[in-house]
Amino acid sequence: MHATTILMVRKGGRVVVGGDGQVSLGQTIVKGNARKVRRLAKGAVIGGFAGATADAFTLFERLEAKLEQYPGQLTRACVELTKDWRTDRYLRRLEAMMVVADKEVSLLLSGSGDVLEPESGVMAIGSGGNYALAAARALEDTDLDAEAIVRKAMAIAAEICVYTNGNLVIEALDQG
């Protein structure tokens, strides 16, 4: 997936998701302040997306419906969403990836049926995802808190990836 970087860090009783604001069409930047990270389920879940914007909004809507169907069960809602994503003729064509988190679990969702929980407290998606992931893993064992790690790692990714900028949207949840 091109044209974005989304990073999630879980550390010190908090989960933080950050995303850049750049939207690109080919080699042209068309917007610099898009909001690719948002709250779902009345603020109890944070999600970030990489990929086609309309596809991501469709997936956010579907996930919101699954969260209403399975309240307080993020993993179950995500599994049900990815089942639909793989089997539904319309959804199967959506080109996006998502990271979602609540107070207890962090997950990566893909159209190939993946519902993955990271081994460590860090995961990233998008064209700059690997840069942000590497930077965040290097910072994980420092005294920085989760939000500081997200900010620093995203700044590093923005310096390297031409599809990532420094206009960040950051959302956080305290673990309960």
Long-range contacts of 38-45 (CB under 8 A, 24+ apart): 38/171, 39/171, 40/64, 40/67, 40/100, 41/67, 41/68, 41/71, 41/102, 44/72, 44/102, 44/103, 44/173, 45/74, 45/100, 45/101, 45/102
DSSP 2-34: -S-EEEEEEETTEEEEEE---EEETTEEEES--
5 is catalytic: no
Catalytic site residue from 4, 5, 82, 164 = 4
CA distance 76 to 94: 21
Residue 142: Cβ within 10 Å count: 11
Enzyme catalytic residues: 4
